Amino acid sequence: MQKTKVALCIPAFGSQPPEFWVPLVEQIGAALKSGVEIMGPVCESSMAADRNRNAIVRRMLKSDADWTYWQDADNINPAGTLNRLLDTAGSQRKVVSGLYFMKKKPFRPVAYRRLPDGRYINIRDWERGEILEVDAMGMNCALIHREVFETIDQSYVALQRASGGIVPVHREDIRGDVFGEQVSDLDGKVKDGIWHQRVWLPKEVVDVPFFFSEYNRTEDMAFFEMAKRVGYSLWVDTSIECGHLDWRVVRGKDYRMKKSAGSGAAGGQI
């Protein structure tokens, strides 16, 4: 039987403490014992999280890895996490993750539902062990099949902004000319509630960015929106609770203790 091959992806800046490395080694050991083949770790280190993640994905796509498994540099994940996520994914789910919690009180869960107006709120009540469909989650402990990145790559095109930078646009959303670089008087302005900005095809081929930061959002939100747009559902296995490294390790019990004290911790916006 062919082994499942997983790229262990670690975007990082700076060094990590022993609290990070020891559980990671335990995780790799547990995966190898179960017959999973590990590629990597595949690491990129800069101060730009989106650049790190995009570079890692591009390296993975040149390999024969089936999955990417993301371990953020400020998280610790229990031994057996990867095996559990592979079981949760099975043959149907292509984007799954465990659950972890924000570092600061009230320790809200890093998993979200999208409101009709486009904003996101943290998930609310759930039974531990539930597998929840969500609209976004944290990238630590995320298991994502290569097919998701390949489908996004085929479905989107990278366009140049008049204000600089690159934006991915679904091919079905492109109307009219994207070959000229001319600007208009409306560029950068808002008219009747619509913000106008000219975009065009770059002169040189540019890779579609899977991750990018904008509008005070983390770099992974755009990825989750693109994944959903091309037909993939996002799932959180709440039986997996990961630690979040700060001056202390934040675990699920901290969230539950705060919630039971009547703080209303489960709600909120990012």
Q: Residue 202 and residue 219: Cα distance in Å, rounded?
A: 22
- Terminus-to-terminus CA distance in the chain, angstroms? 44
What pLDDT score was predicted for residue 47? 83
List, in order, residues 6 or more apart from 135 with CB less than 8 Å away: 112, 113, 114, 120, 224, 228, 234
| Pairing between β-strand 142-145 and β-strand 67-70 as defined by DSSP bridges | antiparallel
Q: Profile the chain (270 residues) by mean pLDDT over runs of 10 residues.
A: 89 80 88 92 88 96 97 90 96 96 92 95 94 96 97 96 88 87 82 89 92 89 97 98 83 83 48
Other beta carbons within 10 Å of 162: 16
Q: Residue 211 and residue 233: Cα distance in Å, rounded?
A: 18
Q: Residue 243 and residue 251: Cα distance in Å, rounded?
A: 5
What pLDDT score was predicted for residue 203? 86
3-state secondary structure of 257: helix
Site of tokens 């790559």? 153
Domains for the chain: give ranges and CATH numbers: 5-150+214-260 (3.90.550.40), 159-200 (no CATH)
What pLDDT score was predicted for residue 27? 87
Q: Residue 262 and residue 259: Cα distance in Å, rounded?
A: 5
